[in-house]
Amino acid sequence: MSRVTFYGVRGSIPVTGAEFNQFGGDTACICLEGPERTVILDAGTGIRALGKRLIQDETLGISRPCFLAFSHFHWDHIQGLPFFLPAYDSRRSFTISAFGREDSSRSLRDIFATQMQNEFFPVSLGDMGANIQFFQTEEPRFEVGRGSVIAVKHNHPGGAYSYRINDRNGKSVVYCTDIEHSESIDPQIVELARNADLLIHEGQYTPEELPRFKGWGHSSWEQAVRVAELAEVKQLVITHHDPDHDDSFLSEVEAQCQARFPACCLARQGMVLEI
């Protein structure tokens, strides 16, 4: 992979207002652009802007393979999909995927068809237009071309998955959001992130806030930093910002994070990293 772009960095619900302009208000969506394919992580409201770019940018052509991988299916991670314009283009193809998913009682198609049934949205999933394929496997590791995807289930209400994406050049990005580490850091996540080039880890709460939200399925920024330290990652980006945390608040949090782990920043909507 060569480029990581953050299109949605907010958790729970999108927010608007001048006090959120610096970090952004759209919910979870990250785009990884590699030499051979595009991978989209989650489809929160941020995917709307990504869709407009895919249509306008000829370097991300119609024939380029595109995968949408989901950490889980709570609203803030799927609510942008009906507004993803390329999905209405009959010339395009997409694969909606979930790796390592143990619960097969409902298919991926059923999950998204329910979201778009006529009580909730005027266009059904089958009428979107693009060729949309669904791929689901219980296997925790899957080879994609000369790269691989590794999935680890972690603690979150309803279940959620962290991903490690390794490209053909040995570069790696780990995506870990909507995770509650409980009393200690999840050792599976540390191993998943071991020596990664980039760890994207949620940090919705401060250490002081975290005890009030036990059981809500989220982490503090301090826990995100601790994972980065234990796994010896090269770079940490903290995302899934709480909707009540404005720019001023998040700027203070970022300063605390960088004092502890210098190769760290808080995700900003529109931020681009080269890996």
Question: What are the pLDDT digits (tens) for 157-213?
Answer: 999 999 999 988 889 999 999 999 988 999 999 999 999 999 999 999 999 999 999
CA dihedral 212, 225, 24, 272 (to 10 degrees): -160
**DSSP string of 52-94, one letter each residue:** HHHHH-TTS-TTS-EEEE-S---HHHHTTGGG-GGGG-TT-EE
Encode pLDDT of 59-70 as tens digits: 666 778 899 999
CATH class assigned to 3-274: alpha beta
| 77, pLDDT greater than 70 | yes
Give the residue-averaged pLDDT of 12-25.
98
Residue 25: predicted pLDDT: 98
Task: Tell whether pTM > 0.75.
Answer: yes
Residue 6: predicted pLDDT: 98
Could you tell me which residue, 78 or 103, shows the higher pLDDT? 78
CA distance 61 to 81: 19
Residue 168: predicted pLDDT: 83
Angle at 160 between CA 194 and CA 7, to 5 degrees: 80
